Chains A and B, each alone.
Chain A
Amino acid sequence: MPELGKYALEVTLAYGASAVLLTGLVAIVVGRAARVRRALERVEGRRDG
């Protein structure tokens, strides 16, 4: 771990907040993609079956 000195709080806060926002964004986009794909497969399955 590098020595962050007197700015440790600021640097940690910037990295922590960015990690939360980026992870949340990826989770939302990937999660919605999976939900919509499953729903479409169900409807298309009913239609074809």
Chain B
Amino acid sequence: MSLWSYANPVRFMGATRPLVPVLGAVAAVCILVGLAWGFFFTPDDYRQGSTVKIIYLHVPSALMAINAWFMMLVASLVWLIRRHHVSALAARAAAPVGVTMTLIALVTGAVWGSPMWGTWWAWDPRLTSFLILFLFYLGYIALWQAVEDPDAAADLTSVLCLVGSVFAVLSRYAVNFWNQGLHQGASLSLDAEKNVADVFYYPLLVCIAGFVALFAALVLLGTRTEIRARRLHVLRLRERMADA
């Protein structure tokens, strides 16, 4: 079956109904196990002390903050090119999750940075691009709320998403582009270099799996809600027209 068949709302609703509770359960188990493992059963870092335990929240949330925007970008492109409503609604559903992940990354980063860098905040390339990404998320959510016509709202928010993608890329690669600032390079990357010791790495992977599953569960649930909300809106309009 083609992926495009899920652009049909009825088929999408049928396919995702069993997925949401499964993904929710996987998310709950992975996050609880990963955080408990990291918090209770890993040692302090020889330089950073117990603040290293913040990595289990900061890295997964930052990862999802950026990747949520890329998921919205793909969904927005599908909307702009193929006009599939489900993809526009999926992008809309991902925004609240993405903004929360961005906020968690900013807050935990500030709390972690305070004792390590001696400041809560610096206008460092990565921190600044993350803050701008957060503002783009807020603008994206506000734009969906502000435009009454759903297709026009999907068009405008998709364009905003394309523009904001620059900052999503910068959030990930700002350190490499400018090679300055307080924030270190990526903790996790696909190259051979190892930046995180195994004792921290494995619980971190479990936490990342949990955050990915949580994101997927909430986006699917949110998309299902948006589909229902749109049908509800249409039915209420029909009722009003019938009463008039």
Contact = CB atoms under 8 A, between A and B. Distances in A.
Interface of A: 2-8, 10-11, 13-15, 17-18, 21-22, 24-26, 28-30, 32-33, 36-37, 39-40, 43-44, 46-47
Provide the main secondary structure of the chain B interface.
Answer: helix
A2 B44 CA distance: 10
B108 interface: yes
A5 to B, nearest CB: 5
Contacts of B225: 29, 32-33, 36-37
B22 interface: no
B108 A43 contact: no
Interface stretch (B45-53, B164-172, B197-205): B45-53
Given A17-B111, A29-B218, 20 more contacts: A2-B50, A4-B50, A5-B44, A8-B50, A10-B114, A11-B50, A15-B35, A18-B104, A18-B107, A21-B100, A21-B104, A21-B107, A25-B97, A26-B218, A28-B96, A29-B222, A33-B222, A36-B225, A47-B235, A47-B239
Contact of A11 (B54, B97, B232): B54
Nearest to B53: A11
B51 A33 contact: no
Contacts of A13: 111
A7 B51 CA distance: 6
Contacts of B107: 14, 17-18, 21
Nearest to B39: A2
Contact of A14 (B103, B108, B221, B236): B108
Nearest to A35: B225
A36 B228 contact: yes
Question: Interface size bucket, B side?
Answer: 35 or more
Which 4 residue pairs across A and B have the least CB separation, nearest first?
A4-B50, A25-B100, A33-B225, A14-B111
A7 B218 contact: no
A40 B232 contact: yes
Contacts of B185: none
Given A5-B44, A10-B112, A44 B235 contact: yes
A40 B226 CA distance: 12
B57 interface: yes
The residue among A18, A26, A33 with the most chain B CB atoms within 10 A of its own CB is: A18
B14 interface: no
B142 interface: no
B85 interface: no
B82 interface: no
B28 to A, nearest CB: 9
A26 B217 CA distance: 10
B235 A15 contact: no
